[in-house]
Amino acid sequence: MVTHLECSVCGKRREAGQVHNLCECGGPLLVHYDLEETRAAWHRDAVAKGPCSMWRYAPVLPVRDVRSVVSLGEGMTPIVRATRLGTRLGARDLWVKDEGINPTGSFKARGLACAVSMCVELGIRRVAIPSAGNAASAMAAYAAAAGIEAHIFMPRDVPQANYIECKAFGAHVTLVDGLISDCGRMVAERKDAEGWFDVSTLKEPYRIEGKKTMGYEVAEQLGWTLPDAIFYPAGGGVGLIGMWKAFAEMETLGWISSKRPKMIAVQTEGCQPVVRAFERGESKSQFWENAHTVAAGLRVPKPLGDALMLDAIRKSGGTAIAVSDEELLDACLELGADEGIFAAPEGGACVAALKKLLANGFLKPDERVVLYNTGAGLKYLEVFSTRFPRTTASEQDKLGGLITPR
């Protein structure tokens, strides 16, 4: 049961069951539950009896009325033992949590399922979101399922799949000449006049609640024992923040011990504000100028949740690391060839980061490692097509590869 919302910066409390965005101080609001009451009524062994979706964890999700739930089957994604990849890289206990299996092809389905369900519960009928791609697709889908009006703001060079998805779901789409930060500014400038509820990352309290279910799932799927390290591609970083919140909740519920994985935030060389802040010992990041990367979800020049992310990384004994676009694309193809998982560039970034941290000794070969692939590679065909250009029929003929239909 939800008891209240609380500012993650100043600690001020807000009443549950009302419409909230950020605290007056600018801090994100986090949902709090009566976990002692939940512990008495809900036991770990009962989880498996729930639905095969993230809603199996409903007692620690904010929706009060089951009739408000908008679900397309999100969550309970597979965790795959990556034996061949691990053997080649020198990681004996390597796993991939494949979030690309979610509705709309990414982990964003979790957060938007929860946020849109809360919009239904709170009577919100018009929503707006700035997005680098996958969050837009997810919100458009769940808004359509809920009968809510959706307004999407995306960079003009967003992956084509994301744009087409949003249009197919009936959303109102604005393409912006700029980055996600420019999209966010447009939403902020227009939301009051237009009557939109702002569903930007961490500017409302509920997307993080859906994403935290990744933490509950990894614990359940590994027998309620957390891994030694978790690699997470961190653009806005809400998934990492949410999992850290989930681990604390599960410990209070008596489901896991106090042991925590090393939380490893992965960014790219062309946009690494959190890595730079971590290396400098800073509590917040600075805006990353001229952000660029083929991994659209990692092109976030100033994440709102940077302080929460950095706190989790440091408390866990983890680290933040950047990889190049070339490294992450190579790693995507290695993961695909070794394990049959066609990962998004963001997921490939985690493989590339693992290589570096094994090489420098930060991780040991026998540690249990979970890599999060946050999306499906099929949504980034423009990116991967540069690696596999099509040849003409005459060129194929010269190579002896021409097949003539009968």
Q: Are strands 149-155 and 172-176 parallel, antiparallel or unpaired?
A: parallel
- Which pair of structure tokens corresponds to residue 193? 């006049």
* Number of other CB atoms surrounding residue 260 within 10 Å: 21
- Mapped onto helix, strand or coil, the DSSP state of residue 331 is helix
Largest CA distance in the chain: 73
Look up tokens 């703001």; give the residue: 153
Query: Looking at the predicted structure, is the pLDDT value of residue 396 above 60?
Result: no
Name the region of 144 (left: φ>0; alpha: ψ -120 to 50; beta: rest).
Answer: alpha
DSSP states of 113-170: HHHHHHHHHHT--EEEEE-SSHHHHHHHHHHHHHT-EEEEEEETTS-HHHHHHHHHTT
CA dihedral 314, 318, 320, 321 (to 10 degrees): 160
For 269-304, strand residue ranges (E) read: none
Question: 246: Cβ–Cβ under 8 A, 6 or more apart, which residues?
Answer: 60, 212, 213, 214, 215, 216, 219
In this structure, is the dihedral angle defined by the CA atoms of residues 100, 104, 109 and 113, taken in order, positive or negative? Answer: negative
89 vs 115: CA distance, rounded Å: 38
pLDDT at 143: 98
**pLDDT tens digits, residue range 110-126?**
999 999 999 999 999 99
Exposure letters 212-230 (e unless 16+ CB within 10 A, then b): bbbbbbbbbeeeeebbbbb
Confirm whether 48 is domain-assigned.
no
Section 79-102 average pLDDT: 98
* Overall number of domains in the chain: 1
CATH number at residue 274: 3.40.50.1100
Answer whether 318's CB lies under 8 Å from 262's CB.
Answer: yes
Residue 395, pLDDT score: 59
- Res 55: pLDDT: 98
pLDDT band at 402 (very low <50, low <70, confident <90, very high): very low
122-139 pLDDT, tens digit each: 999 999 999 988 999 999
Q: Residue 280, CB half-sphere, CA atoms under 13 Å: how many?
A: 11
Residue 36 counted as domain residue: no
Domain that holds residue 188: 65-387
Residue 40 neighbours by CB distance under 10 Å? 10
Domain contains 334:
yes
Residue 124 has, within 13 A of its CA and on its CB side, a CA count of 24
Q: Decide which of 179 and 243 is more confident.
A: 243
pTM of the shown model: 0.93
Does residue 45 fall inside a structural domain? no
393: pLDDT strictly greater than 80: no
Under 8 Å CB-to-CB from 181, ≥6 apart: which residues? 287, 300, 301, 302
Asked if residue 134 is part of any domain, the answer here is: yes
Which residues, in sequence order, are bridge partners of residue 369?
Answer: 94, 229
Does 136 fall in a domain? yes
Residue 68 half-sphere exposure toward CB, CA atoms < 13 A = 18
Q: For residue 149, is it within any domain? A: yes
Q: Does the CA dihedral 363-368-373-377 come out positive or negative?
A: positive
Orientation angle between helical segments 273-280 and 306-315, nearest 10 degrees = 50
Q: Is residue 73 part of a domain?
A: yes
Residue with tokens 């409302």: 204
**Token duo for residue 289:** 């100028």
What rounded mean pLDDT belongs to the chain?
A: 94
What pLDDT sits at residue 405? 46
* 295-316 pLDDT tens trace: 999 999 999 999 999 999 999 9
